Amino acid sequence: MKNQLLMLAYISVGVGIFGGMLIVLLLSIFRQNQVINSLVSPQDFLGLPCTVEIPFDTHSKGKVSLNVKGTSIGLIARTTEESKEFTKGEEVFIIGTENNQVWVISKSSFQHQE
């Protein structure tokens, strides 16, 4: 009787280990097929529309916000457009990035470039 219980315990442990390894193997195979990357690189910003949060012009910095990969991001913004002042709520487009800042142009300028 004691030997039968010991044998049953060994079989139960073996089946449990085998089942666990099988589940881990299947999960790793399924995860290899999925690409999960929530990191946002500066290249992801180029050409995206954003909204002015803090007004700015050629001689000052401002702030814009945008959504990238489901994340809302606020960035320091500058422009090279002469005599253009961006107001709060205005839509602008990102044309470049440099030192954690973005360079933006107005919607009308962006449409002329297309």
pLDDT, tens digit only, all 114 positions of the chain: 778 888 999 999 999 999 999 999 988 887 776 665 667 777 888 889 999 999 999 899 999 999 887 778 899 999 988 778 999 999 999 999 988 899 999 887 766 665
Count Cα atoms within 13 angstroms, Cβ side, for 33: 4
* pLDDT of res. 1: 75
* pLDDT of res. 90: 94
Q: Do strands 71-79 and 101-106 pair parallel, antiparallel, or not at all (unpaired)?
A: parallel
Task: Assess contact for 78 and 101: CB atoms under 8 A.
Answer: yes
Residues in contact with 78: Cβ distance below 8 Å, sequence separation at least 6, in sequence order = 56, 61, 62, 101, 102, 103, 104
Q: Which helix (H) or strand (E) holds 54?
A: strand 49-54
